[in-house]
Structure 1
Amino acid sequence: MSEPDSRPGCAVSAALPLPACTAVVGCGRIGSALLRAALRQGLEVLAGVREHRRRRPGVPPEVVQLAPGKAAAAAELVVLAVPPGEPLRQLAEQLEPVLAGKVVLELSNPVMPRGDMPAPRGPWGPSEAELLARRLPRTRVAKALNTVSAKALGRLGSVPSAEWRRPSVPVAVDDPSAQRLVCAWVEALGFEAVPAGPLTHARWLEHLAQLLCHIDAQSGRTGLVGCRILRP
């Protein structure tokens, strides 16, 4: 259960398994879509942006903007919605002290060299989430939501349930308590969270995203292709 929270911008959450407050650091297309989706579901969110004193166009007016470090320090769950590679590495180095002990959700995919497909990645190379975990040894890193587009996030809570088939969102993470927290937040957004094993499985989630991008390209780039995992 989350303890009552008096940190800036975070109201006390009554939902037992949910983080009292989530910080989304990075407010591009995916980050902004996540903020809007969370608001529609009544979840407590903060926006972590570098120029926090200037309102970012994609950040809803109801969301408090803070510097990335302050947003991360005030949250129980921190979502890093920044591009992979050097931007993610620099952000990890900057936030390492405040992320100690927290749950961090990483949702990027390999950089896209063309407009329709991510860069190929060998099956044995580490995922972005695994590389991030090496840089943040005191942080519980999870991989999820990399198989979901900004357009799909925009449909959450805004399309009648009869017209919307909830995509499955695999969650890869080593720590059981972090898995419960991330799965609860993913479910609260409106997806079906599916535990996908340890963080090493994050590399397979990046391969799954590549496949979904290919299927979407063949389908006319709708941005709405996802996966649905059937279980007994």
Structure 2
Amino acid sequence: MKIIAVIPARYASTRFPAKLMQDLGGKTVILRTYEAAINTNLFDDVFVVTDSELIYNEIVKNNGKAIMSIKEHESGSDRIAEAVENMNVDIVINVQGDEPFINAEPLQKVIEVFKKDTENRVDLASLMFEIKNRTDIENPNNVKVIVDQQNFALYFSRSVIPYPREENVGVRYMKHIGIYAFRKQALLDFYSLPMLSLEASEKLEQLRYLEYGKRIKMVETTHASIGIDTPEDLEKARQML
């Protein structure tokens, strides 16, 4: 089973433009993320795929592997699908470009999903993390996921799901961590299918998979992702280093 990591990297960002090219302890955010993915030793190869010559050149000049997108893309999945369409790979891991503190353990867990899936029931695997603070639960930037008894995703939302009409009934609120593992065919199917209303409304690409009947296996982790979405997040990351 050939497994690669692909890091989709847009230069523009609504909340924090050019965040991937910001300095983080002497290296750019995107370069640190790329190097962290390689250092997990989990992948047969690692690529950055981008619409930006600045990001492309940043990776290549540091002896990394980068791919320039040919088309404009609405989502990271579209960008990755174009890049891997003609590659001989089985599993593609989407690593977020703004998460330079990659932990190998949760990545290993999503890879294990496919190694154990002998009946090919899983199209995608992703991660979730329990959140308990009310502010975190209500924050629309924290995407929540609800799952069935086998931990297959039922729905993702920026809203509070499930709605707490009744308290103290054992509901856990799970934050979606945006690391995906795809079967290559599921990724190519996504690339060929039009966006539907749920994805358009929530601006969450994972809803396209659900709307077309793909099965997303969620894996719980205790490792919270540390993404850089704002200048304040960048300052926290610098302090962590």
Query: Does TM, normalized by the shorter one, top 0.5?
Result: no
Structure number with higher strand proportion: 2
Q: Which has the higher contact order (CA 8 A, sep 6+)?
A: 2
Using the size of structure 2 for normalisation, the TM-score is 0.33
Greater gyration radius: 2
